[in-house]
Amino acid sequence: MARRSALGLLLLGGLGLLPLALPFSGFPTTPRPPQRLLPRRAAVESEALQVAQSSLPGISTVVLGALAASTAQLARAGQAQPQAGPGSFFGPERWAGRTAAIALVWVAFLGYSFFLAPGKGPEAQAADQALLNQVLSTPFDGSVSPLFVCIFNMLGIWPVIYSATLLPGAERQSPVPAYPLVFASFFLGAFALSPYLALREYRGTAGSSGNLDWFTGNFLESRLTALLLLAGALYLSLFALGNGVIGDVAPAAAWASFLPIFTSSLTAHVSSVDFMVLWMFFGPVLLEDGRRRGVFVGKPDEWVTSEKAQFALCAALPVFGGVAWLLSRPPLPEQR
């Protein structure tokens, strides 16, 4: 039970309103199946747990690596930075440590997804394609795990949050342009976004956002956009929490329906890890966007209490923290 609980915390604990202890039972959920089906169900759950536990080292390497990369960037915040030499690629605006750390996480994530993640056999691939068709065509009809529906669709909310926090500092970025990789993250998640995060120049000073295009200035900077994201995230979380029934509370049933596809479907498995990597990478992006707007300036221990609380909440809470930042952040100096 301890291993099962730890696995649930690592894989799914960050889904905002979802309870952290998804694997625990004891909640009123669905009627008990006939007694003759219990041995078969127990065998399926046991096999799924074994696959999940065997995947845990690889998942931990990727997710904790992303957390370490962000922690190093945040620890460097507020320190005096050496000036770059003439013609130097790395310097105050592009830290070599950040580039190397994110690149290592990107390679580790690619390697894990291609070589270690479950769901690569012919039968698994056919089932995976059927799952993908279902979650794209009829995600809310009960035919797909509601928890996976939540994770999969929140991977469409994360890129909007990243777009709103990265594109204000995207003008004249080098050596990679922002828009192709940021928009590719709507389809490829951290696989597309990581190279941009690794190679982009730091734009964390007031007035460094440059000229905003119409889409960034009118859509991504709008509070209405943030409210729509909040509504979507709330619906998805309640849908998962109730295992497909809004207003119900059935985390044990949600976990039970999710675990088999997590351990057999490449799409479900990699999507879940992708969700966590995007969560781990968000802290430094949040810090930079805040500094462009005149908050989170200087060393963290010099911030006022309200800024410390705001940053902690927005960085620690996945999806909902990012949406809270979009709702509460001050306008850019250029827009005041």
Q: Quick check: helix, strand or coil at residue 218?
A: helix
Listed by start position, the domains of the chain span 52-74+94-335
Q: For 178-214, what is each residue's pLDDT tens digit? A: 899 999 999 999 999 999 999 998 888 887 777 888 9
Q: Is the pLDDT of residue 76 over 90?
A: no
Best CA proximity match to 203, nearest among 175, 172, 232, 179: 172
Whose tokens are 């078969």? That residue is 40
What kind and span of H or E run contains 83?
Answer: none
Best CA proximity match to 90, nearest among 17, 198, 165, 194: 198
pTM here is 0.85
Tell me the average pLDDT across 58-87.
Answer: 80
Q: What angle do CA 227, 229, 235 make, to 5 degrees?
A: 105
Write the DSSP symbol of residue 91: B
Residues 63 and 67: their CA atoms lie apart, in Å, by: 6
Neighbours of 138 (CB within 10 A): 11
Q: For 39-60, what is each residue's pLDDT tens digit? A: 656 666 677 788 888 899 999 9
51 vs 166, higher pLDDT: 166
- Phi, psi dihedral angles at 98 (to 5 degrees): -65, -45
Q: For 128-154, what is each residue's pLDDT tens digit? A: 999 999 999 999 998 999 999 999 999
Helix axes 96-111, 190-199, angle to 10 degrees: 160
Cα-based distances in Å from 96 to 99, 201, 243: 5, 11, 44
pLDDT at 47: 72
